[in-house]
Structure 1
Amino acid sequence: MPPLMKLTAVTLDCADPRALAAFYQQATGFAPHPRSDADFTGLTREDGLFLGFQRVDGYRPPQWPGQIVPQQSHLDFTVDDLDTAEAALLALGATRPQAQPDEQGWRVLLDPAGHPFCLTTK
């Protein structure tokens, strides 16, 4: 049976869509979407995958690994080298939480709006 759905977009809530889009644009190389504005900004990958960022008044970032404000979702990215990718993303504004469940296999970082995302070489 062929798939019923094809993933075409992922949208993250945040306080500042333009700032978060700038972080992910530098990190992924996705192109800015031409119809972005201050309340909803997007990036597009060559194959059409859309990564969106929408303003939410009173946005509260997830508290990972705690669950006071649950993470709700996270993104995983494959990289060639964990140390090199982590250093580059930290320089772009990501942060590294103290909790690292499997530092040799993958790394958890937080984007500038506090969303956890993972890096792996697998």
Structure 2
Amino acid sequence: MSTVRFGTLALDTPDPRGLAAFYGALLGWEVEQSDEDWVTIGGGPGGTRLSFQLAPDHVPPTWPAGPVPQQAHVDLWVSGYAETDAQVHALGGRLLEDETDHPSWRVYADPSGHPFCLCLEG
């Protein structure tokens, strides 16, 4: 019987290098593989990686509803919001939904419009 293990999560984007730089800076991860159409960053526990695939016609999902539903999102665990929120904004991300309705997470969009959450640890 063969085994299955997680390889990477790939996000479509019109700018693979730019989106890799955003998540690499946010997570402190390094580029592991890069070409014109594909960039992979890694450095997470157990070899966790994220990849970014060229999709020139990418249409960002609308949040929280609308004509373009989200198809996936990334949850990132944080010890607090203040510093990480500032870092997300400095890197080109934007807040979509604060913790008013759900105190343990905030929803953001990365520079390509993909939603991701900052979730409080513990």
TM-score range, shorter chain: 0.7 to 0.9
Q: TM-score, normalised by structure 1?
A: 0.87
Alignment match of 1:38 (pick from 36, 39, 45): 36
* Number of residue pairs matched by the alignment: 118
CA distance in 1, matches of 2:82, 2:9: 26
The residue type equivalent to 2:38 in the other structure is F
Q: TM-score, normalised by structure 2?
A: 0.87
Instruction: From the two aligned structures, give the one with the greater strand fraction.
Output: 2
> Is the contact between residue 97 and residue 106 of structure 2 (CA under 8 Å) also seen in structure 1?
no
Residues 101 and 71 (structure 1), Cα distance of their counterparts in 2 relative to 1, 3 Å cut: farther
After superposition, the C-alpha distances for 1:14-48 in whole angstroms (9 at most, x for unaligned) are 11000000000100011111x30121111012532
Structure 2, unaligned runs of 5 or more: none
- Give the equivalent residue in structure 1 for 2:74: 75
Structure 1 segments of 4+ aligned residues over 6 angstroms from their partners: none
> Is the contact between residue 82 and residue 106 of structure 1 (CA under 8 Å) also seen in structure 2?
no
Structure 1, unaligned runs of 5 or more: none
RMSD, matched Cα: 1.8
Report % sequence identity: 38
